[in-house]
Chains A and B, each alone.
Chain A
Amino acid sequence: MQFFFEVLIGGLLSGVLYSLVALGFVLIYKASGVFNFAQGAMVFFAALTFVGFQEVLPGWLGLETGSAVVFWLAFVLALASMVVLGLLTERVVLRPLVNQPHITLFMATIGLTFLVEGIAQGIWGANVRGLELGIVDEPIEWLMDRSGILVSKFDLFAAAAAGVLVTSLALFFQYTRIGRALRAVADDHQAALSIGIPLQHIWGIVWGVAGFVALVAGMIWGARNGVQFALTFTALKALPVLILGGFTSVPGAIVGGLIIGASEKLAEVYIGPMVGGGIESWFPYMLALAFLLVRPEGLFGERHIDRV
């Protein structure tokens, strides 16, 4: 039973990290109705830019390598880069496509993926880098001593950071003027424009916030596994979370992440050995598919009704 709980807790904590990536998708989908295929590439771009600045800043400004000043300066510059990337995306990619079918916008984000991946590697190189956030990835000792259950300090920190971010964003979009405008834009571009909501302004904000979320996700995943191209694959973990939680719901992303995280780990441990293992990659998709059959809009997604 102890082993079961260990797997379950580990899965829930991993699930929160999936939610973090899924959140980036949700933000942009809410604002523009676009499934942003480039979200994984943005996570990679953000993390690589952060470690890239960490490398070059000491040389540029004569600062001490690894110091807190370098860390925060790199964070601010990486965040600024993400905001610029978001604004440029809105200006160059999305604005010319206002009122075009969603599939057109989706295809544009596929192109954006390759562009962002290429720019990131073009600027900072293809080398794999380590990333230290100062939180050791080792078990919490008192929990180990008392219950024998292994829970990583880093995973707990990452889950807490993701939780704070998700809650803040949920509140922001629910109770602020920008949040209401955002929901209006998501419902109908033309209707929102007709009542004076500045579409480009809202899109710029949302892409900027999505860039911030990508940076946080990139830093956490980068500290876990290294900053490398594989960060783009984190998007694959977010897809079943979105299907399950709904593309338009911030709380849905977190609940979907928890369900996917826990179920994939339990499935890998208890079902995996019966079928040769390695089922973590497809099990969440199977689960999401089963959900789709019952609730096509996801657990928290908005039900789409067409009058015929």
Chain B
Amino acid sequence: MKFKRTLVLTGLLAAMAGPAAVLADEQFVGLPSYRVGAYASGGSGLFGGWIDYMQMINERDGGVGGVKITWEECETEYNNARGVECYERLKTKGQSGNTVFMPVSTGITYSVLEKAPQDKIPVVTIGYGRTDAADGRIFPWVFPMITTYWSQASGIINYIGTKEGGMDKLKGKKIALLYHDSAYGKESHAILDKLAAKHGFEVTKIAVAHPGNEQQSQWLQIRQQRPDYVILWGWGVMNPTALKSAAKTGFPREKMVGVWWSGAEEDTVPAGDAAKGFTAAGFNVAGSNYPVIQDIQKFVYGKNKGNMEDKSRVGSVYYNRGVVHGMITVEAIRKAQEKYGKGKAMNGEQMRWGFENLNLDDKRLASMGATGFMPPLKITCADHEGPGKVKFQQWDGTKWKVLTDWVDSDRALVRGMIEESAAAYAKEKGITPRDCSKEG
């Protein structure tokens, strides 16, 4: 009788522990992707790169610390309501639910911003999202990493200043901002006004209504005003239309500087020769000659496990941006495992710690085969943004050519604005900022 009871108990325990022991070897990542609809061309590249990188880690290294990465895509079509639906659906997937949510949409970011801390899921927004969430004291669960829109705008002005021979040469210059008439496009206004006041240049803001496939009147205004530079803060079809219209009105493309959502092959190829000479900022570069991309070719495409239908897009701007998303995800898992136990799947809280303690210095980037691919990245309790640096690439008619090293933003100015805005949010919501000196 005693033996029977022991047998039953052992069986029950094995049944309970068994699946957990198997699942403990897998780390689930939910991907709210957009592969159909208006933004599919960018989405297919970005999510392809992201998945290929995780696949490469599984194939080459056997996962992170022996923990295989698993993932599931959920189609958002870049739609806020669907994004929230995906957030909810992915939340319960995997052994311990989704442990990181990267919405790849500013709209979806805002929609889940207040849910995520309750669900203990870190929200990582690389190159988009809510800028003032870079203040980690007030937004512990949100990570607008690498570079925010404000840092980018400041980086662009620094680049123009360098082109002109120094920041003092900006005095009296005219810069036109051609922006997508949306919250995304208007994100640049405050920082550019501050920079204009600081450096003495004049900024003219010209709105382009969505989707931006007609810009005749905007470019006639630019022609009339004759600015020294045009900053293109565009999205989707607005970008090639702007480049074509610039050519039509005779504005030199070498004097046009785009943001990172204007600087991909999807923006320049449709514009044909009109795009030649156009420069754009980016927190990642294009190219397939980086060891990290070559490892993907070898361990993923070499085994016919690649995600991209069109393999020629491997190494494109959006693809490499996806790889950066994958690298940051994997490195956060690795960092969290260092603290919470190697060979274990991490939960959302542990992943949050991993993101907050990321330190991808030159040495680490070199070992990942990504020197120059993305800027060194150090996240702290207070600073969830990191370097705030961008490189500038120029379209030569067929491919992007890197023009500069990592260009700094005006960190003091940008950080001041971030803290001011975050403090106002904290006051409105009754949030007491974390004391980072007490965080381990």
Contacts and interface: CB of A to CB of B under 8 A. Distances in A.
A278 B269 contact: no
A138 B41 contact: no
B207 A224 contact: no
Contacts of A129: 269-270
Contacts of B313: 127
Interface in B20-61: 35-41, 43-44
Given A226-B269, A229-B40, A268-B217, A281 B244 contact: no
Nearest to B266: A128
Contact of A269 (B43, B44, B220, B310): B220
Interface string A225-256: 11111101110010000000000000000000
Which secondary structure dominates where chain B touches chain A? Answer: helix
Contact of B213 (A6, A7, A128, A225): A225
Nearest to A18: B214
Contacts of A10: 216-217, 220
A39 to B, nearest CB: 16
Contacts of B216: 7, 10-11, 14, 265
B38 A229 contact: yes
A224 B207 CA distance: 20
A118 B218 CA distance: 33
A130 B269 contact: yes
Interface stretch (B164-172, B233-241, B378-386, B413-421): B233-241
A279 interface: yes
Interface residues of B, number: 44
A272 interface: yes
B247 interface: yes
A3 interface: yes
A127 B220 contact: no
Contacts of B181: 277-278, 281
A264 to B, nearest CB: 8
18 contacts: A7-B216, A10-B216, A121-B36, A126-B43, A127-B41, A130-B270, A131-B270, A150-B250, A225-B213, A225-B244, A229-B41, A234-B213, A264-B217, A268-B217, A272-B217, A278-B207, A281-B209, A282-B209
Interface of B: 35-41, 43-44, 181, 205-211, 213-214, 216-218, 220-221, 223-224, 236-237, 240-241, 244, 247-250, 266, 269-272, 274, 309-310, 313
